[in-house]
């Protein structure tokens, strides 16, 4: 389950997945079912980092926090919000914090628990992604089959459901440049921008040395935008002011910091 909460109102969106769906794990771990990947994360003592990063890349949505509830029963559209509220009560949340099963800080636990408890059924939406609408069948060398999360189908099914309305209303034109040696990272990073409500108008490669996750280049007005603030805070991107923007309102240069997601952990 992935839950998205609007910061300034009570709107929410919950995404449901099947534990048997397969995704490509981050950090070069290979392909795993959701249920197996979560177990591997625990075994490697990564406190959700492997599972969270892998899911982010599969869905194209930034995931700030993760928590392992050890829940094994099926969650449906009708029970999703009830499950979320039961698991986010203060005592269970604090228990997960003490046991090291979440990357939330103590303050995060208190604030998120209060926010979730205030949610009501009429202000949100549950999107069931556990079926074949977001997967493609892959045939293995031994002729067995597995259902893989298909990122292009995921994008079509989600549409603008996960958009931040403030970012969408800014209507910034965004150009994304991959400066790394790993092909396709510009396209991958652009998915995060689009899912947040940004408008990507260009994706290209660029020869430039960017040690951080990304460099954000825009005018003084653009640097103050909600999109830049989010990318700077979440991906720890550097910023640079440039008034004579030509191809877009915001240039995003994807760097080596982001590339680390696709390389083995040291």
Q: Taking Cα atoms as reference points, which of 108, 25, 99, 38 lies closest to residue 71?
A: 38
Domain with CATH 3.30.70.2390 in the chain: 165-262
Which tens digit of pLDDT belongs to each residue from 93-127? Answer: 888 888 877 888 889 889 888 888 888 887 888 98
Residue 120's pLDDT is 86
Residue 108's pLDDT is 87
Paired tokens of 53: 């990063």
Say how many CA atoms lie within 13 Å of 148 toward its Cβ.
14
Domain with CATH 3.30.420.590 in the chain: 2-135
How confident is residue 207, by pLDDT bands cut at 50, 70 and 90? very high
For residue 132, pLDDT over 90 is answered with no
CATH level 3 topology of 2-135: Nucleotidyltransferase; domain 5 (3.30.420)
Q: What is the pTM of this model?
A: 0.88
CATH level 3 topology of 165-262: Alpha-Beta Plaits (3.30.70)
Which tens digit of pLDDT belongs to each residue from 6-31? Answer: 766 678 889 999 889 999 999 999 99
Which tens digit of pLDDT belongs to each residue from 59-94? Answer: 988 888 888 776 667 788 888 888 888 888 888 888
Q: Taking Cα atoms as reference points, which of 179, 180, 124, 163 lies closest to residue 11?
A: 124
Residue 8's pLDDT is 66
């Amino acid at each position: 389950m992935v839950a998205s909460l609007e910061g300034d109102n009570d709107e929410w969106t919950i995404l449901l997945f099947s534990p048997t769906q397969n995704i490509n794990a981050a950090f070069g771990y290979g392909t795993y079912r959701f249920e197996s990947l979560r177990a591997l994360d625990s075994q490697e003592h990564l406190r959700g980092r492997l599972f969270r990063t892998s899911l982010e890349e599969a869905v194209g949505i930034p995931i700030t926090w993760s928590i392992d509830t050890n829940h094994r029963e099926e969650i449906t559209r009708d029970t999703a919000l009830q499950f979320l509220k039961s698991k986010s009560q203060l005592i269970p949340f604090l228990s997960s914090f003490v046991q090291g099963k979440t990357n939330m800080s103590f303050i995060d636990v208190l604030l998120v628990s209060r926010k979730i408890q205030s949610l009501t059924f009429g202000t949100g939406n549950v999107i069931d992604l556990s079926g074949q609408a977001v997967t493609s069948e892959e045939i293995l060398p031994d002729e067995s089959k597995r259902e893989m999360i298909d990122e292009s189908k995921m994008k079509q099914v989600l549409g603008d459901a996960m958009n931040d309305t403030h970012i969408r209303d800014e209507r910034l034109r965004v150009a994304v440049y991959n400066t790394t040696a790993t092909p396709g990272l510009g396209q991958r990073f652009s998915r995060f921008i689009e899912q947040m409500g940004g408008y990507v108008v260009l994706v290209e490669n660029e020869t430039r040395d960017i040690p951080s996750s990304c460099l954000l280049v825009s005018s003084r007005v653009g640097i103050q935008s909600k999109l830049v603030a989010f990318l700077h805070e979440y991906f720890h991107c550097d910023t640079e002011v440039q008034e004579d923007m030509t191809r877009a309102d915001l240039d995003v240069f994807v760097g080596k910091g982001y590339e680390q997601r696709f390389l083995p952990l040291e």
